[in-house]
Amino acid sequence: MDSPARAWREFPQRYRLEAAKCTVCGKILYPPRVVCPKCGASTFETITLPREGTVVTYTVVRVPPAGFTEQTPLPIALVELMEGLRVMVQIGDLADPSDLEIGMKVRLEFRRVSWDGEAGVIFYGHKAVTA
Amino acid sequence: MRDVAVVGIGMGDFGELWEKSLRTIWAESALAALTDAGVGEVDLITVGCMAPGLFVGQEHLASLLADELGMAGVPAARVESACASGGLALRTGFAEVASGLSDTVLVTGVEKMTDVDGADATYALGTAADQEWEGFHGITFPGLYAMLARIHMQRFGTTSEQLAAVAVKNHANGLLNPHAQYHLKVSVEDVLASTMVADPLRLLDCSPVTDGAAAMVLTTVERARELAGDRPVVKVTGSGLATDAITLANREDLSDLGAVRKAAERAYEMAGRQPKDLHVVEVHDCFTIAEVMATEAIGLFERGEGGPAAEKGLTSLQGKIPVNTSGGLKSKGHPVGATGVAQAIEIVSQLRGEAGNRQVEGARVGLAQNMGGSGGSSIVHIMEVA
């Protein structure tokens, strides 16, 4: 799964937080899709997501999947960036994972997410830190 | 539609079966089901298996397995819906017999999970989540269910003690099931003291990695009556399948399992039944929180009441509505592709009155609920004594 082609084609979303806004109903899709799930239209304009949000739910992964063993314990949250738009992200820079709570204000920052897969790709994206 | 009956069931022990390959455990259970049915030939074989490519490096599974049974030439199809692959294999067989496309179908489920190490197994199971937008960040299945648990706890006040009660009950039931992976009595204290896997879920909140296979034979009710002799004929009266966003971020309501609710509604409608008609239920307790949420979504309890119901013993073997008499995924084990078929086998055993020490007296209507991923798909079957 960690192929250079896959990493490359996801740059706009991973690196620049680009989302698609439906030109008919205004629904925002992240990642972009071919068809709007709300109204069925298929014309979009590109927008950039806000970086501030609120923790909707979270966990701290203690038994990681292959590729994340060096980052354990790994706090991960669903963060709501705007009404109805949530993203899954790691929470970075937490001294104590028990500080995490629902409703916490966070800010997305560009970070290294994982590395050392079979293809040697270093994956960058966004992590959330305490706002 | 024609009426469909289960005329044979077969499964071996679930567990870490290092001495046996996928094809061996599959063939053993298939043969047991055919023997139980008294059937030598079938029109179709369905195989529910989630990820043989990742777990044992083998695709093209249905043909391989048909040949393994000496049935090369017979139509065979593998179906996949992550951990609901077994339920989908059953639904596929049901649809074939109901429609008249096939008269007799061998429905099977299998997963061989211990040929890879723990990290690779965690990765393989993780492919049931959205790999690009969830797996990318290192989330695991315990992690996804932990996120659902956090929300359920915040919204309804569900507690870790209530979740632990689910594990305690299912392990108690598993003690009575000779095929179960674990014959282990656990207490609430044991669960709460076990290793944290993904906060707030601990090791004893999680189902294990398991090798296992399960099989059943479906045919028309008429033929089933001829084959059954003195044994009760068990009809499949309802089948419901539904999907939801597999990505948690795209789910409308994270405090409920929408696909389970829809699949159950469809099965109840087809069967002309309601939750209060059920005598015995198997739900997909891949994690303790999953059982709590599933018992709510299939309508046994109001939303938010699943945790208190478990703690009060309403779902125990002697309770108001016994849930997971087999020991559930928690204690019986969770060979993901086999699980949906094994759940249905437990219901058939109960309805036949053949469940031994864990028999629910007078059980005539049962339900089995199987689920894919973190709730992105679900399949519900209702079965009744004909």
Instruction: Convert B232-257 to b/e letters by CB count within 10 Å (16 or more is b).
Output: ebbbbbbbbbbebbbbbbbbeebbbb
Whether the model pTM is above 0.90 = yes
Helix (H, G, I), strand (E, B) or coil at B95: helix
Label residue A65 by pLDDT band (50, 70, 90).
confident
Q: Could you give the residue numbers annotated as active site of B?
A: 83, 334
In chain A, % of residues over pLDDT 90: 79
Q: At what angle do helices B22-37 and B61-68 cross, to 10 degrees?
A: 60
Cα(B206)–Cα(B201) distance, integer angstroms: 7
Cα(B116)–Cα(B57) distance, integer angstroms: 10
What is the pLDDT at residue A1? Answer: 58
* Chain B interface disruption, residue of A78, A98, A106, most B CBs within 10 A: A78
Side chain identity, residue A63: V
Cα(B54)–Cα(B70) distance, integer angstroms: 26
**Which residue's structure tokens are 């996120």?**
B147
From chain B, which residues contact A within 8 Å (Cβ)?
A: 118-120, 122-123, 126, 131-140, 142-143, 146-148, 150-151, 154, 195-201, 247-250, 254
Chain B CB contacts of A11 below 8 Å = none
| pLDDT tens readout for residues B31-69 | 999 999 999 999 999 999 999 999 999 999 999 999 999
Chain B CB contacts of A124 below 8 Å = none
What is the pLDDT at residue B81? Answer: 98
What is the pLDDT at residue B119? Answer: 82
Cα(B272)–Cα(B314) distance, integer angstroms: 24
Cβ–Cβ gap A87/B147 under 8 Å? no
**Which residue's structure tokens are 């409608």?**
B269
The answer for residues whose C-beta is within 8 angstroms of residue B322's C-beta and 6 or more apart is: B279, B280, B281, B315, B316, B360
Task: Respond yes or no on whether ipTM tops 0.95.
Answer: yes
Cβ–Cβ gap B120/A31 under 8 Å? no
CA of residue A131 relative to chain centroid, distance = 16
**Scanning every residue of chain A, which has its alpha carbon at the shortest distance from the alpha carbon of B130?**
A88
Chain B CB contacts of A71 below 8 Å = 138
- Asked whether A42 and A36 are in contact (CB, 8 A), the reply is yes
Please state whether B15 falls in left (phi above 0), alpha (psi between -120 and 50) or beta: left
| Distance (Å) from the alpha carbon of A128 to chain B's nearest alpha carbon | 12
Q: Considering only the beta carbons, identify the residue of B139, B148, B196 that sits closest to A88.
A: B139
- Asked whether B202 and B191 are in contact (CB, 8 A), the reply is yes
Label residue A67 by pLDDT band (50, 70, 90).
confident
Cα(A94)–Cα(A100) distance, integer angstroms: 8
**Scanning every residue of chain A, which has its alpha carbon at the shortest distance from the alpha carbon of B125?**
A65
| pLDDT tens readout for residues B215-224 | 999 999 999 9
**Helix segments in chain B, DSSP class H:** 22-37, 52-55, 61-68, 85-99, 118-126, 141-156, 160-174, 188-193, 221-228, 258-271, 288-297, 306-311, 328-332, 336-352
**β-strands B196-198, B201-202 pairing:** antiparallel
Helix (H, G, I), strand (E, B) or coil at B175: coil
Quick check: A30 pLDDT over 70?
yes
What is the pLDDT at residue B34? Answer: 98
Confirm or reject contact between A76 and chain B (CB < 8 A): yes
- Asked whether B352 and B346 are in contact (CB, 8 A), the reply is no
Picking from B272, B219, B284, B300, the residue whose alpha carbon sits closest to that of residue B384 is B272
Taking chain B (386 residues) in consecutive chunks of 10 residues, what is each chunk's mean pLDDT? 98 98 98 98 98 98 98 98 98 98 98 93 92 94 97 98 98 98 98 98 98 98 96 97 97 97 98 98 98 98 98 98 98 98 98 98 98 98 97
Cα(first)–Cα(last) distance of chain A, in Å?
32
Cα(B59)–Cα(B49) distance, integer angstroms: 10
